[in-house]
Structure 1
Amino acid sequence: MSHNQQLEAVTNAFSVIEGHGVDEKALLTILGKWDPLEREAFRKKTPKLFSEDHERNFQRWDDHHVRLLKHEFVRYKNAIVLWAMHPWERDARLVKDALKKGLNAYGVLVEIACTRSSEELLGARKAYHSLFDHSIEEDVASHIHGTDRKLLVALLSAYRYEGPKVKDDTAKSEAKTISHAIKNAQNKSIVEDDEVIRIFATRSKLHLHAIYQHYKEISGKNLDEDLDDLRLKEAVQCLCTPLKHFSKVLDAALKIDVDKNTKKALTRVIVTRADIDIKEIKAEYQNLYGVSLQHKVEEIAKGNYKDFLLTLIARGG
């Protein structure tokens, strides 16, 4: 490899605008062997990464780029650490992190509350007790204010029936209740309707699937399409169409120009679903976007982070 090719490879390895990992191999095999003069030449030839201090005669990193690099180098570590954790602890820590980050991260709370089994969610609540000496419910109630609080506390407190029985007449009646609440939303916010909260926080997922189908028969549209409230819309998607939800979250995370919290979902979804339904998520992703999830990760991610994600994705066959 010529010096110009080496320079290009190292520059690309440090170019983290895409925000999906770092090419550690190029840095190890090329940069690690450069002598001081070669490293100086690299700094001088990459003004996007370094600026020249002419008064003091040295090249300094761009501060913003250094901050970006710190995030990118840590992606692989975070993925490995999350993968090694007990699933209960993993979910408990994800909840705690979402509460710290605030409003834009509350979708993670909905995802954990609505895509885990009853035992998995109970386990996360137990782990949260152990780790933080509080309950999830009390921390959600104390950190979250406004209309989201009632819904999120109810969802995270749930222990749903997971058997096969569904009372279809009841599901049809509750679909009508939800339809009426949506039509009356200008008078009363749907997330302030106790009956609607009760239905989504207590009914089994099979029962909610039946409600979802009956609602479409009543209105001609999918339930989540008619909901204006973001958290309730996310809850319906996670409860009724989880594979589509995870596929959409992954697709958003694999875009170049999104914020770091959106990008972090790539690690979260692949790590948390690798042992559960990653095979089904891959099929849904292919169906929605016409490209395999593996190909998209291969195209966008870099280095050890990319290789680890692909290893987890392959677990589903």
Structure 2
Amino acid sequence: MDVPLAAEECEAITRAFSGLGGLGVDEEALVSALGKWRHQPEKRAQLRKSFAGFFTADGGFERFEDDYIHYLKIEFARFKNIMVLWAMHPWERDARWANDVLHKAHPFDIIVEIACTRSSEELLGARIAYHALFHRSLEEDVAYHVRENFSNLLVGLVSAYRYEGDSINEEMAKSEAKTLGTAIKSAGVRNLVENGEVIRILTTRSKPHLRVTFKYYREMYGKSIEEDLGDELCLQETVQCLDSPPKYFSKVMDETLKDGADKNTKDALTRVIVSRADVDMEEIKAAYHEQYGAQLEDVIAMKTLGNYRDALLSLVGQ
């Protein structure tokens, strides 16, 4: 059920987006709105529908107008694009991140992240948005731009439409755990990431099925599959994202908060918090505490500054 927007809430966000032309932004009101609207994506959907000048209906989602994105990024520079990304439809957000990865010097692990931590409907939506925004399919751009040996794996991941239910064939999961083990143990001149059976299992099976498969793998071989993947970084990240997104994202955020992190790594802090605030942030915080012995909110408060820090903490749910 849609939650109607209160007049004062609309006013606060309208004021934020009135910064075009140097009128300024009420940053404290923005931070307040971020906190109040946490876990209420339906309100942002209403907001996009009400801002006809900023958003245009396109292929089942409301897309940001490109000219406005350019101006708003400048206006919200001190927020490091949090407000632009927060207001954006999740499909468009993922499509733009994927396009940046493929056309700029970003690591391809962001493609793995989008393909493996979104639901089947969300990934399909990102592909719809990519097509509408860039007039090409995400699959064809991945196939064209990724020249490394993990190209087939990434194409399979972004093309997936996985079963979302809880039904699991235990015998098949056990059999595929053995298939993965055989592939890993026999990997030689040909890289494991090019193994057709490995690609088939990781790109087609449901996430509950894969978690059971990974459990059987540990029972059979005495190690987690991640440990046995060695230097196969793309496969490691694929397994991590499919098996436990909170654990994966807590690891990503730890890297972003380290001294000396480069710009691409630091950008992941905004990306993860904006995209996961309405999904599994509490689980990510718990995983972070378990892995690193600290409260995520405390580390963010220590490592970031000003209204950017306050915006992050509002979304994290301090």
TM-score for the superposition, normalised by structure 2: 0.75
3-state SS, counterpart of residue 150 of structure 1? helix
- List per-residue Cα deviations over 1:142-168 (Å, max 9, x = no partner): 111131210000000000001110001
Give how far 1:75 is off.
Answer: 5.5
Q: 1:90 aligns with which of 89, 93, 99?
A: 93
Give how far 1:188 is off.
Answer: 2.8
Q: Relative to structure 1, is the Cα distance of residues 233 and 75 closer, same or farther in structure 2, using a 3 angstrom cutoff?
A: farther
Q: 2:296 aligns with which of 293, 300, 307?
A: 293
Aligned pairs for 1:203-214 (under 5 A) are 203-214=205-216
3-state SS, counterpart of residue 145 of structure 1? coil
- Higher Rg: 1
Question: Which consecutive unaligned segments of at least 5 residues does structure 2 have?
Answer: 1-26, 29-72
Give how far 1:78 is off.
Answer: 0.9
Give how far 1:121 is off.
Answer: 0.1
Aligned pairs for 1:37-186 (under 5 A) are 74=77, 76-102=79-105, 104-186=106-188
Q: 1:240 aligns with which of 239, 243, 246?
A: 243
Give how far 1:270 is off.
Answer: 0.3
CA distance in 2 between counterparts of 1:209 and 1:269 reads: 23
Matching residue's letter, 1:271: V
CA distance in 1 between counterparts of 2:189 and 2:88 reads: 46
Matching residue's letter, 1:147: N
CA distance in 1 between counterparts of 2:164 and 2:252 reads: 25
3-state SS, counterpart of residue 108 of structure 2? helix
Give how far 1:229 is off.
Answer: 1.2
Contact map agreement 2:90 2:275 (CA 8 A) in 1: yes
Matching residue's letter, 1:248: K
Matching residue's letter, 2:216: H
Name the structure 2 match of 1:284. 287
Contact map agreement 2:117 2:242 (CA 8 A) in 1: yes
Name the structure 2 match of 1:274. 277
Give how far 1:92 is off.
Answer: 0.2
Matching residue's letter, 1:85: M
Contact map agreement 2:115 2:158 (CA 8 A) in 1: yes
Give how far 1:74 is off.
Answer: 2.9
Aligned length: 246
Matching residue's letter, 1:125: R
- List per-residue Cα deviations over 1:266-305 (Å, max 9, x = no partner): 0000000000000111111111111111100000000111
Contact map agreement 2:150 2:194 (CA 8 A) in 1: no
Give how far 1:242 is off.
Answer: 1.2
Give how far 1:77 is off.
Answer: 4.1
3-state SS, counterpart of residue 105 of structure 1? coil
CA distance in 2 between counterparts of 1:308 and 1:135 reads: 33
Identity of aligned residues (%): 57
Matching residue's letter, 2:228: D
- List per-residue Cα deviations over 1:187-207 (Å, max 9, x = no partner): 432111111101000000000
CA distance in 2 between counterparts of 1:148 and 1:179 reads: 19
Matching residue's letter, 1:204: S
Matched, 1:251 2:285: no
Matching residue's letter, 2:207: K
Task: Provide the alpha-carbon RMSD of the alignment.
Answer: 1.8
- List per-residue Cα deviations over 1:7-50 (Å, max 9, x = no partner): xxxxxxxxxxxxxxxxx99xxxxxxxxxxxxxxxxxxxxxxxxx
The worse-fitting range, judged by mean Cα deviation, of 181-190 and 112-121 is: 181-190
Give how far 1:88 is off.
Answer: 0.2
- List per-residue Cα deviations over 1:102-161 (Å, max 9, x = no partner): 4x5100000000000000000000000110000000001111113121000000000000
Name the structure 1 match of 2:33. none
Name the structure 1 match of 2:218. 216
3-state SS, counterpart of residue 99 of structure 2? helix
CA distance in 2 between counterparts of 1:213 and 1:226 reads: 14
Matched, 1:262 2:265: yes
Give how far 1:101 is off.
Answer: 2.5
Name the structure 2 match of 1:46. none
3-state SS, counterpart of residue 212 of structure 1? helix
Matching residue's letter, 1:110: V
